[in-house]
Structure 1
Amino acid sequence: MAEPDPTRTPKMRADKVSVFYDGKQALKDVSINIHDDRVTAFIGPSGCGKSTFLRCLNRMNDTIPSAKVTGDIELDGQNINSDAVDVVQLRARVGMVFQKPNPFPKSIYDNVAYGPRIHGLANTKADIDAIVEKSLRRAGLWEEAKDRLQESGTALSGGQQQRLCIARAIAVDPEVILMDEPCSALDPIATAKIEELIHELRGRYAIAIVTHNMQQAARVSQRTAFFHLGELVEYGKTSEIFTNPREVRTQDYITGRYG
């Protein structure tokens, strides 16, 4: 794949982002660019700050009273932490898929239709029907769910629920999709389907994924960021991070010396 123009503005840009919980620093001066034509993976041992950083990108840390975020994060050049930014709108543009599938206790149809309804993206039932079908198709779930749209989303299998959550995230037409260990609760077959889906969604959305599975990062991403003890140790092309890392800590993690 051709390298993007280096002068092009990244979709999201983080500059010297630090996070504190109750005054204790959890993330130190992280700077990273996320582009819209590739998947960026965040890897590192548990508790290293990768999910904390991901949550900064759509202001999920706002929901934690003791959290304080410093530094700049821009989406299309606009500071997302500015008072002028509506958090609800931001989270429509920067969708999130969590570790455990969390469908709403509603029908499959209503899970996907919920966002477009509250954001006023559809005027008629036919519009909503079209968005639901398109989103479920993009999430690779339409064939399995089309005859069950009025059944509860929680009646689906774990892997199907996670694809439903991805359909729900893309129904509001986001620009960025954040995935926080989206396969950690899934079996290998469901995991393979989600990975295939990530490949299909790439290029349509900027995607950032936190994973503790290094093979998964190698399979799905074009850029990899390695976090350790709240620091971004190394960031570069996935192929280079896994075959020729510049930092000893990265090498040690990838070869399994700690994790």
Structure 2
Amino acid sequence: MLDNTATTSTKSKMSARDVKVFYGEKQAIKGVSIDIDMDNVVAFIGPSGCGKSTFLRTLNRMNDTIPIARVEGDITLDGENIYSSSMDVVQLRARVGMVFQKPNPFPKSIYDNVAYGPRIHGLAPNKAELDQIVENSLVRAGLWNEVKDRLQDSGTALSGGQQQRLCIARAIAVDPEVILMDEPCSALDPIATAKIEELIHELRGRYAIVIVTHNMQQAARVSQKTAFFHLGTMVEYGDTSDIFTNPREERTRDYITGRYG
């Protein structure tokens, strides 16, 4: 039986109900429903082109940037419809931050990368408070000790793994409630990947976290809940341990065991 509705036992931070995404006439997402809470890192897995990144982008309205994209269904953040006309999209993207596949620091100093969001959102009334936000964000992102003596160096001069942690610090700096990660380790070496995974463990509980990954071992390591996507449908959702050891759906089992992907 197709499990297209996913709920959690704790209060949801975000909820999606019967979400469909269209690019022009092509339907990319077919009626996905899921709840996301603060206590569990959620991993989206599935073969390339299955819709997992497309669905992730609905959660902070990144698909709004694509003229032919259309989203149907309901997505709420703390019970508020994020697609309502009254929703401030800039504010939404501060509350629901995104970390992309390829590290994308601004061509600014390390300090200014992290300070950018708090400045434009008016979160720091003075330099001392801004300094504290920058330091706290870099500490949480596991980067402070590596960069504290060179905050005026360019963010683009950091290594790939450091750049990705800088982008996470930048997302954290505006005090989000949800962090979306779209294959954040795919461009990184194993050591940098391990640091990002360790960071995800440390951030769990402070933020609701959703990660898209092609790496099933990574999903097993970092998440407590896993959703398997295939051909635009969420085939199965449940505890990560169950998805990987005792999936209910044959398509999930075939993917996990490498029969396709």
* Superposition TM-score tier, normalisation by shorter sequence: over 0.9
How far did 1:37 drift? 1.2
Q: C-alpha distance in 1, partners of 2:193/2:260? A: 24
Tell me the distance in 2 between the aligned counterparts of 1:203 and 1:132: 21
Instruction: State the alpha-carbon separation in 2 of the partners of residues 232 and 19 from structure 1.
Output: 13
| 8 A contact 2:228–2:235 mirrored in 1 | yes
Secondary structure of the structure 2 residue equivalent to 1:134: helix
Per-residue deviation, 1:5: 8.1
- Secondary structure of the corresponding residue to residue 181 of structure 2: strand
Residue 166 of structure 2 is matched in structure 1 by 164
1:51-90 equivalence runs, <5 A: 51-90=53-92
| Equivalent pair of 2:8/2:36 in contact (CA under 8 Å) | no
Matched, 1:255 2:221: no
Q: 1:166-199: CA deviations, max 9, x gaps? A: 0000000000000000000000000000000000
Unmatched 5+ residue regions in structure 1?
none
- Out of 206, 209, 232, the position equivalent to 1:207 is 209
Give the C-alpha shift of residue 9 in structure 1: 3.0
Name which of 220, 244, 247 aligns with 1:245.
247
Q: Which residue of 2 aligns with 1:227?
A: 229
- C-alpha separation between the residues in 1 aligned to 2:236 and 2:166? 33
The one-letter amino acid paired with 1:158 is G
1:34 aligns with 2:39: no
Q: Which amino acid aligns with 2:117?
A: G
SS at match of 1:105: coil
Cα distance in 1 between the residues matched to 2:195 and 2:258: 26
Tell me, yes or no, if structure 1 residue 149 matches structure 2 residue 151. yes
Say whether residues 1:44 and 2:41 are aligned partners: no
Of all paired residues, the percent bearing the same amino acid is 82
Matched position secondary structure for 1:212: coil
Q: For the Cα contact (< 8 Å) 1:163–1:194, is it kept in 2?
A: yes
- Whether the 8 Å CA contact 2:13–2:77 is kept in 1: the answer is yes
- Name the CA shift for 1:160/1:5 in 2 (closer, same or farther; >3 Å): closer
Aligned to 1:113: 115
- Distance across 1 between alignment mates of 2:104 and 2:53: 17
Q: Runs of at least 4 residues of structure 1 off by over 4 A?
A: none
TM-score, structure 2 normalization: 0.97
Counterpart in the other structure of 1:130: 132
- 1:100 and 2:102 aligned: yes
| 5+ residue gaps, structure 2 | 1-6
Q: How many residues align?
A: 255
- Matched with 1:190 is 192
Residues 81-101 of structure 1 show CA distances to partners (whole Å, capped at 9, x for unaligned) of: 001100000000000000000
Distance 1:217 1:95 in 2: 20
Report the 3-state secondary structure (helix = DSSP H, G, I; strand = E; otherwise coil) of the residue aligned with 1:11: strand
C-alpha RMSD over aligned residues = 1.0
